A and B are shown apart, each in its own frame.
Chain A
């Protein structure tokens, strides 16, 4: 730390710097811990010299206060991240379902004009086991009857066996979702896994 900078610091505490000098020095103080410590000691000496009640020279509240403020600022972000993490699998499943539905809709007219609806699509069907752990793409049954929430779908899935066609399952297996996960798995396991880091930006 140069003498010139410390002389500026001394003038700063006396309010004797020009506006530009003050702005420059305050920017310097932002990232110069030693200079900030000097600022604290200069004021401690002033307090002692003017007989202000300087109770505790050894106290360094600044570090404690700034650490507490930093923790306070980080806490809401952590909570938000936790909230996002809690919902991310569901979001992934919901998007996977949406992508799958779009794919099925675009394929269905070609594959089965005779079928009035996917719900009436012919066998083969694969039973989806009860109690599938974690988020899962919602059943396609009744997709034409309006929007259904993921949680409702999950309740239905968890409440008992569901059937799904091979074609639908294949689509689910290969549907890439937009939040960076791939839906993979077979008849017995459908789950999401993070996409490799190298492909994260390919969406």
Chain B
């Protein structure tokens, strides 16, 4: 996690020692960031670094014996993991079971997780292997080509299995998505800007503060108010 903080400080110009502070692993991350951001926009990279940093903090706590920290990781990634698993195991109920098994395997293996890759990358591999093993155990053939990480994370609608998802699930998913987009569209302009700069563009609070010419505390408050407004709309849907 110190690596992420160090690299983040470098990108934000908080250190004049630049790459001299970074070790070889940081350099690899730096190369990835430069490649990802291309036009010099570092926000997406910082967003990912921050997300990885909180994951690393939660992983540390799990490794120290805090099970509830693992609960937070499950809640954070459950939707993405089950979407990924559904690409291998289309049946909704089976996909839930396989996803659950993947999380349990991850929990068991977590003491040996050293953070050489981001937690989600590691979790992703476990989920894919669990799904493939399930198919083999069912005498079903796993797909020849692996689902690529970028596909799973970025491709819109990649995990939707319309033929196999129950109509209720599919309806609810679409309704929640519509509700989220509608709620964001209805936000006051300054709140909507802060939220989308964070969620869509992946900028850090400091970068958003610079763009919006306001204190970081205001950015934090606006992003929260945006999330809270969206949450008020989707809560009745997801809690039934």
Name A's B-contacting residues (CB within 8 A).
Answer: 3, 6-7, 10-16, 22, 26, 29-31, 36-62, 64-66, 68-69, 72
Contacts and interface: CB of A to CB of B under 8 A. Distances in A.
Nearest to A61: B78
Given A13-B54, A47-B80, A41 B235 contact: yes
A44 B50 contact: no
Contact of B205 (A16, A40, A51): A16
Interface in B85-102: 86, 92, 95-96, 99-100
Contacts of B79: 43-44, 47, 52, 54-57, 59
B128 interface: no
A7 B168 CA distance: 32
Nearest to A16: B205
A53 B227 contact: no
A22 B67 CA distance: 16
B234 A41 contact: yes
Contacts of A29: 68, 72
The 3 closest A-B pairs by CB, nearest first: A15-B50, A53-B159, A55-B83
Taking each of B74, B104, B154, B223, which has the highest tally of chain A beta carbons within 10 Å of its own beta carbon? B74
Contacts of A37: 75
Contacts of A54: 79-80, 83, 159, 173, 176-177
Interface of B: 47, 49-51, 53-54, 57-58, 61, 66-72, 74-84, 86, 92, 95-96, 99-100, 103-104, 107, 152-161, 165, 168-169, 172-173, 176-177, 180-181, 184, 196, 198-200, 204-205, 220-221, 223-224, 227-228, 230-231, 234-235, 237-238, 240
Given A7-B220, A51-B157, A57-B172, 13 more contacts: A11-B224, A14-B47, A14-B51, A39-B75, A41-B234, A42-B231, A44-B176, A53-B155, A55-B79, A56-B92, A58-B169, A59-B96, A64-B100
6 contacts: A11-B205, A36-B72, A45-B180, A53-B158, A53-B159, A62-B74
B199 A61 contact: no
B234 A53 contact: no
B231 A45 contact: yes
B104 A14 contact: no
Nearest to B153: A52
A14 B47 CA distance: 7
A63 B103 CA distance: 12
Given A7-B220, A16-B204, A46-B199, A36 B80 contact: no
B104 A42 contact: no
Contacts of A12: 54
A51 B154 CA distance: 7
A61 B160 contact: no
B2 to A, nearest CB: 11
Contacts of B83: 52-56
Contact of B240 (A6, A16, A58, A66): A58
Contacts of B100: 61, 64-65, 68
B176 A36 contact: no
A45 B68 contact: no
A48 B223 CA distance: 16
Contacts of B240: 58
B227 A51 contact: no
B205 A59 contact: no
B180 A48 contact: yes
Nearest to A11: B220
Contact of B223 (A14, A36, A59): A14
Nearest to B157: A53
Given A14-B205, A30-B68, A61-B103, A43 B238 contact: no
A55 B180 contact: no
A26 B177 contact: no
Contacts of B70: 66, 69
